[in-house]
Amino acid sequence: MRITANHARNQRRSLGRFWARLQRMARQDPDAVQGSRPSGGTAGLAETLWQAVRRLGSEDQEVIYLRYFLGLSEAEAAEVMHVPVGTVKSRLHRGLDRMRQVVARDYPSLREALDE
């Protein structure tokens, strides 16, 4: 399980570096990046969702990533994070509440797409 936790953290950092690089490229040459961006649909929705998750704190990101992006159960996430299952449940609940606030405030189109 420790390997899974490390993998989740590495993946999250890697995606963050990738996103930062794309942003730098877009500032330098917007036309080069235009073709590589997802054009709506599921890929665009996933990218927007990932951007919303990145606005959360690292603790919220970790529990949401383990639970929903890696598909671990609450018990497995608890084992990976070395915390009781109840702690995972409460962190997940609070993290999802904060996620809803971020989506409502910054990503209204994502909220509409998820409600469909």
Q: Is 73 left (phi over 0), alpha (psi -120 to 50) or beta?
A: beta
**Tokens matching residue 79:** 């084992």
**Tokens matching residue 33:** 């990046």
* Integer CA distances (angstroms), 76 to 2, 63, 80, 91, in order: 11, 11, 6, 14
Kindly give the interhelix angle for 41-54 and 108-115, rounded to the nearest 10 degrees.
130
Question: Can you give the pTM of this predicted structure?
Answer: 0.61
Burial (CB < 10 A; 0-12, 13-18, 19+), residue 9, is: middle
Q: Look up the CATH number of the domain holding residue 96.
A: 1.10.10.10
Structural domain boundaries, residue 92: 2-115
The candidate with the shortest Cα–Cα distance to 53, out of 4, 96, 112, 1, is: 96
CA distance linking residue 51 with residue 95, whole number of Å: 15
One digit per residue, the tens of pLDDT, for the chain of length 116 reads 778 788 877 777 776 666 666 566 666 655 544 444 444 556 677 778 888 888 999 889 889 888 887 888 899 889 888 899 999 999 999 999 998 899 889 888 777 766 65
Number of domains the chain is built from: 1
